[in-house]
Amino acid sequence: MEMSATGLELIKGAEGFRERFYCDVAGIPSIGYGHRLLPGEHFPDGISEAEAVRILSVDVREAERAVLRLVRVPLTQGQFDALVDFCFNLGAGRLAASTLLKALNARRYDAAREQLLRWDVAAGEVNAGLRARREAEARLWAGPARAIIAAEEPRQKVSHRNAA
């Protein structure tokens, strides 16, 4: 299973494009569509949007593999896309240790969807950008047509969360 165009647009809208290096709200150096800079990666002149899309596709493949490895039950395309976005945003480790995954693998799909909505806190407070992203994931879970976040302004990738 691969992330759909709808799911990819969710990531792009939630992350926003940044051609230059920035630190996300967790202080993680990032560029493009929320790509975490890896050791040895340098973009002194920034990156083009085309380069950001190429990097995003690599990062999304990693998130897809994590979802496929962790989830033990059948998924709809919308559910898969929501989980890939979740992993892209928060990391596979957060999904692996989550109540969300436990509920999902117990075939409690509605409970898993509700768990998505709990991951909207950064630095101890509800974050509006994360709240909108989790709500978009929940809509994707139910059906992909209503899930896109409008990309009014770039949103910072949040890579930490208190456990749900």
- Smallest CA-to-CA distance from 85 within 76, 95, 75 is with 95
Q: What is the pLDDT of residues 84-101, one digit of tens each?
A: 999 999 999 999 999 999
From the CB of residue 117, how many other CB atoms can be counted at a distance below 10 Å?
Answer: 14
Query: Are 84 and 52 spatial neighbours (Cβ–Cβ below 8 Å)?
Result: no
Give the sign of the dihedral formed by CA 144, CA 65, CA 12, CA 131. positive
Query: Are 155 and 14 spatial neighbours (Cβ–Cβ below 8 Å)?
Result: yes
Q: Which residue ranges form the domains of the chain, and what is each CATH number?
A: 5-143 (1.10.530.40)
Q: What is the mean pLDDT of the chain?
A: 88
Is the model's pLDDT at 159 over the cut of 80? no
pLDDT of residue 156: 46
Q: Which residues are catalytic?
A: 15
- Smallest CA-to-CA distance from 137 within 84, 91, 67 is with 84
Is the model's pLDDT at 154 over the cut of 80? no
Is the model's pLDDT at 48 over the cut of 90? yes
Confidence of residue 157 (pLDDT cuts 50, 70, 90): very low
Give the sign of the dihedral formed by CA 95, CA 133, CA 151, CA 76. positive
Query: What's the predicted TM-score (pTM) here?
Result: 0.86
pLDDT of residue 155: 45
pLDDT of residue 146: 43
High-pLDDT (> 70) share of the chain, %: 87
Q: What is the pLDDT of residues 103-149, one digit of tens each?
A: 999 999 999 999 999 999 888 889 899 999 999 999 999 984 444 44
Helix 77-90 to helix 128-142 angle (10° resolution) is: 160
